[in-house]
Amino acid sequence: MNPLYLGGGAVALVVVYFWSLYNGLIRESTDIDEAWGQIQVQLKRRADLIPNLVESVKGYAKHEKGVFTEVTKARTAVMNADSPAEAAKADNMLTGALKSLFAVAEAYPKLEANQNFMQLQKELSDTEDKVAYSRQYYNAQLLEYNLKVKTFPNNVFVGMFGFTSREFFKAGEGEQNKVDVKFS
């Protein structure tokens, strides 16, 4: 066989490899960015529900100030978070704070029976599901991407294109935290 053909074939193979590697990584990181955007939308949605919730609880339980400040603080942290790690931490903090808020609400049967409060509670737990599912999608996308970036021979070349492995959105670290509720 003509060595020219062999050389040409080898070059073509290399070109195809780089081509598909690059385009694949671009596609996947776009998907990941979009998934991250979705998480942020849901986190924001959740944060937007909080002021109304706090207001409706305040109407029945004015003096539980500690809980309200805690929730508001956590909410601000979520709003200001940029990276997945920060957002995850803030989100867990908010989950903990909301748990204390609902624990407080339990002491007020009239509040629990309030239509508005019930609706907010429903919306909030749905939004928590939304955060969880968008996180699940994000992490699944990320797993694929990271696997591609880290395995051989891709790992030798991805740096050249400026791709690095990315961080997961972890949940549950704060969720195990003990919730301390003060009844005053």
Partner 1 sequence: MTISSQIRSNIAKTYLLMAVFVGLVIAIGYVLGYALGYGSDFVWIATLFAVISSFSSYWWGDKLVLAMSGAKPAERKKDFDFFTVAENLAMAAGIPKPKLYVIDDTAMNAFATGRDPEHAVVCATTGLLSKLERRELEGVIAHELSHIKNYDTRLLAVISVLAGTVVFLSDMFMRNLWWGGRRSRDDNNNSGGIILVIGIALAILTPIFATLMQMALSRRREFLADASGADLTRYPEGLARALAKLTQDKEVLEAATNATAHLYITNPFKGKAYGAWFSNMFNTHPPIEERIKRLRAM
Binding site for partner 1 (CB under 8 A): 31, 35, 38, 122, 126, 129-130, 133-134, 136-137, 141
Question: Considering beta carbons, is residue 26 or 107 the nearer one to partner 1?
Answer: 26
- Nearest approach in angstroms of CB 126 to partner 1 is 4
Residue 60 phi/psi, 5-degree rounding, is -110, -30
> Structure tokens of 48?
């937007």
Q: Does residue 103 contact residue 71 with C-beta atoms inside 8 Å?
A: no
Q: Which DSSP state fits 61?
A: -
- Nearest approach in angstroms of CB 132 to partner 1 is 8
- Nearest approach in angstroms of CB 133 to partner 1 is 4
Question: Considering beta carbons, is residue 11 or 132 the nearer one to partner 1?
Answer: 132
Rounded to whole angstroms, the Cα distance separating 28 from 43 reads 23
- Nearest approach in angstroms of CB 171 to partner 1 is 12
Question: Residue 168, exposed/middle/buried by CB under 10 A (0-12, 13-18, 19+)?
Answer: middle
Question: Considering beta carbons, is residue 18 or 133 the nearer one to partner 1?
Answer: 133
Question: Considering beta carbons, is residue 75 or 135 the nearer one to partner 1?
Answer: 135
Q: Does residue 124 contact residue 84 with C-beta atoms inside 8 Å?
A: no
Question: Considering beta carbons, is residue 100 or 141 the nearer one to partner 1?
Answer: 141
- Nearest approach in angstroms of CB 155 to partner 1 is 24
Rounded to whole angstroms, the Cα distance separating 126 from 129 reads 5
> Structure tokens of 117?
């409060």
Residue 85 phi/psi, 5-degree rounding, is -65, -45
